[in-house]
A and B are shown apart, each in its own frame.
Chain A
Amino acid sequence: MKSKLFKFLALFLTIGVVAAACGSDSEEAAPATTAAPATTAAETTTTAQVEVVAEGSLLDVVQARGTLNCGVSGSAVAFSETQADGSVTGFDADYCRAVAAAVLGDANAVNFVALTASERFTAVQTGDVDLLMRNTTWTQSRDSSVGMDFGPTTYYDGQQLMARVSDGFSGSSTVADLDGAVVCTNVGTTTEKNIAEAALLAGAEITLLGFETSDEVYETFIAGGCDITTTDGSALVGRKVKQQPADQEWVIFPATPISKEPLGPTYGQNDSAWADAINWTVYATIIMDEYGINQANVDAHVGDEAEVGRLLGGDGELQTGMGLAADAFYQVIKQVGNYSDIYNSNLNPVGLYRDGSANAGWLDGGLIYAPPAR
């Protein structure tokens, strides 16, 4: 009798193993979902992908797959917001679309993967995403030991502070004025470390209050629970525009941020063809902006001479040599827009303007600059 129970249990334990295996099987479906060629079976698709990764560039893989897996935050105001219908919009999301337009000819062939800050680099390394557009700051350690490569910076950000005018702060205040202040910020980010270091250097004693989400930080700030909030300047401006109550006046300082946060595309290292495709997509949006060629008037410039003509796919174009279609950058401008189009449509609504900022073009005193296309 016991032997029967024994067998009964053995049976079910084995079924458990099978169930686990079954679960693993379902996973082959997940990449297959994205790798939509409906005619091939998932198993063959998966192995094919692995082989290509071993041999060629990610550029060929993405073009074979037909969609771009783009890692975004999904919850960063104006940079990558998940909208009510599940679509992803914003500055970063538009650059994902731009890359898809350049590489695949279709700005909508993007598969947005929302990633948390902690899992973003793993997602690139395991191949879950081809490209990271997730307000990732370009740092030495990430560029070297983490194993990432960084594309041209698309947005120059920097950590700043926000306080109430009624507490005696003004645009010309500095970190040294913080002595005795209660500072609220998100926990687990570099902002915490930056403000602590800055205060130490300036000789100001501050009390740090950490919160899990940004909303909690600003609820507390509005209610008077802290004197100062600090995070990247772009986020502070957005909050000030949207959330400043009628009976308070907020001010952002110091004019020179306490940290440098250059944000741009991030991808796995040692893949030149893929890096070139992404970098030149960004450069194309910048160059077209310098010439004033935008989404609305790009069609009128297709036959132009020299740099514009070459970038839009005319005589002497260099795109085919880098594995892209001749009209790749025409598609970028036509379907997504130039740098100003992308910047203004996403960031103006939250109060961020190019004029006078580090994100103005180099001709206007900013840092946005692209090498020549020839």
Chain B
Amino acid sequence: MSELSSTTGNLEVPYTPPPVTPKLPPREWIRANLFSSPFNSTLTVVSGLVILGILRGLLSFLFNPIRQWDATATNLRLLMTQAYPEEQYIRVWVSTAVILILSGLSLAVWRAGSAVPLSKVGRNLVATGATMALLTLLAPFSASATVQWLIASAVVAAGGEGIRRFSAIRSGSVGSAGSVGSGGSSGDDGRTVTTLTLLGVALTGLVVSLWVVPYGHHSFILDRTPRVMAEPGTVAMTTKLPWTVMLVILVAAYFLGRSLRDRLPTNATRATLLVSWLLAPPVLLYLVLRDPSFDMGHVLGTDLPIFGAYAVGGAVLLSWLTRPTTGEVGRIVAALVLIVGFCLFLQPMRMIVRIDMLMLACFALAAPTFAGGQRARRRYVVGWLGVLGVSSWLITAINTPSTVDVPGDFFMGGLSLTLLVAIFTLVVSFPLGILLALARTSTMPIFRLLATWFIEFVRGVPLITILIFFSIMVPLFLPRGMHLSELAAVVVGYSLFSAAYLAENVRGGLQSITRGQHEAAEAVGMTTGQKTVFIVLPQALRAAIPPLVGQCIGVFKETSLLAIIGLFDVLYIARAVMPNQTEFMGSTRENVLFVSLIYWIFAYQMSKASQRIEKRTGLGER
């Protein structure tokens, strides 16, 4: 900022491009960076040996014949969905397909992916081949296995070299002829390929390998005594067929999105997709995976009339409240509705009545703010009907018994439980955290004090304490007849915990917004709400991206604490359940290594996503 202001005087500063660091050929690069002095050379050799030693140790751990990798291979389903019944598994696949369709469409509509020079892909493949060969030589393989792996490495490297040459020839014939031999500068300008294509090729390769490569087939036979059958051959049909279908769906959704994005208005399409993403978790969870068996008599006789009454009554009330002429009387009425809502909430009656009343009170309270013309009022009432409809539907679905019959008190476990808790916690805690940060920085003392106390209290208590409190203590405080499942209690507690941390991250962002921004917004006549929503928050959130993503990764990883309160998350299954199967006693290390790989993949993707967002918003660059 200060540099900018110093150069915006009358002085004409000619633009000079940033100096380009010349790219050294490999040999000179190594000499300049790794062997520049005797001390550096020693360091390089010593650390190189240490790294090789560690790699060798890791490889001999992985490929030791006593390792029970069968444990992981056999228990994959347990790790993913725990006890979700096999005959209902189509529901899991449908949910996956919905997520993949949304992903494919979003990739196309947001124009994801960037171009990568083909020559770079080739070079990376060559490097991969070389690394594979090195690892093969380090690993404690038998001679024949070593030869096989070396051949595979050579094939990879040769493929990479082929791609590199192919791109060099094409760019050579198109571009300057001199650049073919010298490589370097203009070699990168040759043919490019998008990252999406690479991803597609990689996924296709993976799926094709399911049909071709004999990974082994682990079938599980539940006899009087259960036993595991490990058979040679490709993986089971119940694995490879769904995954093939999933790949086809993903690709089809992407191309559908590409054809749609040019015909439909971009903003409307993106808004629809965003709403779909937000609705996807509850809909998939409560309607697809849980499969409530709706009792039509009850739905038509009770739920629908309640919905109708609130829809009509609420619409009338809100359209009156949003009339500009209503004035202060409206606020008093809204406050009365809130009091009625609270009183009703403490009375034993249908939960749906209590919740709808509270929602109506919220809408009534906010109504005078949205008072205005015919169109604005109609939009507000339609908003009420939409929220009421979706929530009524969800509450009815939640309260309907599931037809999916599973052992245990909850129908999910393993990775799906981990993801479920992480997603719901993040979705709830993000808005809550932003509100807490706004409250803490607001000028209103009550809000500021409440927010500060809440944040400081929650941050002063360990997460595990909060989880135990919510899983064991909270059910005891609830009024009689109100039963809170352990999982919901935990998600509420975890969300409050995460919101406190998020609030501090957001507050950091808020403080980075200079006074001038506030004053400028007020100068153009913005209300406090407009200023916050359109000027302050976007900049504050942008500045807070790195810590916010750090918090997201933390939330995802700390779901492993669920194991302590007895929920079967993926780590608990790997650490406590699988090693206690008669077949796989003593397999903890293999299982935990595999689970750490799962955690790493998710956390790494989150951090990559954050890097992309930072780049797109220009964080740290301007």
- Residues of A whose CB lies within 8 Å of any CB of B are 1-2, 4-43, 45-47, 50, 69, 74-78, 81-89, 110-116, 119, 122, 126, 128, 213-216, 218-219, 238-239, 242-243, 345-346, 349-350
Contact = CB atoms under 8 A, between A and B. Distances in A.
B409 interface: yes
The winner among A16, A18, A31, A115 for most chain B CB atoms within 10 A is: A18
A41 B438 contact: no
Given A15-B362, A24-B488, A215-B586, A87 B407 contact: yes
B362 A122 contact: no
A324 to B, nearest CB: 23
Nearest to A78: B582
Contacts of B7: none
Nearest to B356: A18
Interface in B394-438: 395, 398-403, 405-411, 413, 428, 431-432, 435, 438
Interface stretch (B176-184, B262-270, B571-579): B571-579
The winner among B84, B362, B411, B527 for most chain A CB atoms within 10 A is: B362
Contacts of B483: 24, 27-28, 30-31, 46
Contact of A43 (B81, B399, B410, B575): B399
Nearest to B474: A24
Interface stretch (B107-115, B131-139, B217-225): B217-225
Given A27-B488, A86-B407, A219-B589, 5 more contacts: A5-B528, A13-B435, A33-B401, A89-B225, A213-B579
B75 interface: yes
Given A23-B484, A46-B483, A11 B365 contact: yes
A110 B549 CA distance: 43
Contact of B408 (A38, A45, A114): A114
Interface stretch (B202-210, B439-447, B598-606): B439-447
B566 A115 contact: yes
Contact of A349 (B225, B355, B579): B225
Interface of B: 74-75, 77-78, 81-86, 220, 222, 224-226, 228, 290, 293, 295, 298, 302, 338, 345, 350-352, 354-355, 358-359, 361-362, 365-366, 368-369, 391, 395, 398-403, 405-411, 413, 428, 431-432, 435, 438-439, 442-444, 447, 472, 475, 478, 480-485, 487-489, 491-492, 527-529, 532, 565-566, 568, 573, 575-577, 579-582, 585-589
Contacts of A43: 350-351, 399
Nearest to A337: B224
Contacts of B439: 9
A86 B406 contact: yes
Which applies to chain A's interface (DSSP): helix, strand, loop or mixed?
helix
Contacts of A12: 431, 435
A350 B582 contact: yes
A17 B409 contact: no
A367 to B, nearest CB: 25
A29 B404 CA distance: 13
B585 A21 contact: no
Given A38-B295, A50-B480, A30 B78 contact: no
Contact of B585 (A26, A119, A215): A215
Contacts of A29: 290, 398-402, 485
Given A12-B435, A22-B355, A28-B351, A1 B400 contact: no
B415 to A, nearest CB: 13
B366 A11 contact: yes
A224 B488 CA distance: 45
13 contacts: A4-B529, A17-B358, A20-B492, A24-B478, A24-B483, A26-B485, A30-B485, A41-B295, A42-B400, A50-B481, A82-B78, A86-B408, A89-B222
A218 to B, nearest CB: 6
A32 B565 CA distance: 22
Contacts of B75: 84
Given A29-B400, A116-B566, A83 B226 contact: yes
B225 to A, nearest CB: 5
A113 B408 contact: yes
Contacts of B568: 74, 114
Nearest to A26: B398
Nearest to B591: A215
A18 B401 contact: no
Given A85-B86, A345-B225, A77 B581 contact: yes
B447 A9 contact: yes
A153 B395 CA distance: 45
Contact of A219 (B86, B444, B586): B586
Contact of A112 (B365, B407, B435): B407
B522 to A, nearest CB: 9
A17 B352 CA distance: 14
B398 A112 contact: no
A58 to B, nearest CB: 17
B409 A113 contact: yes
Contacts of A36: 401, 405
A273 to B, nearest CB: 24
Nearest to B359: A18
Given A35-B401, A47-B481, A214-B580, A239 B585 contact: yes
A79 to B, nearest CB: 9
B442 to A, nearest CB: 7
B589 A7 contact: no
B519 to A, nearest CB: 14
Given A16-B432, A110-B407, A213-B579, A84 B400 contact: no
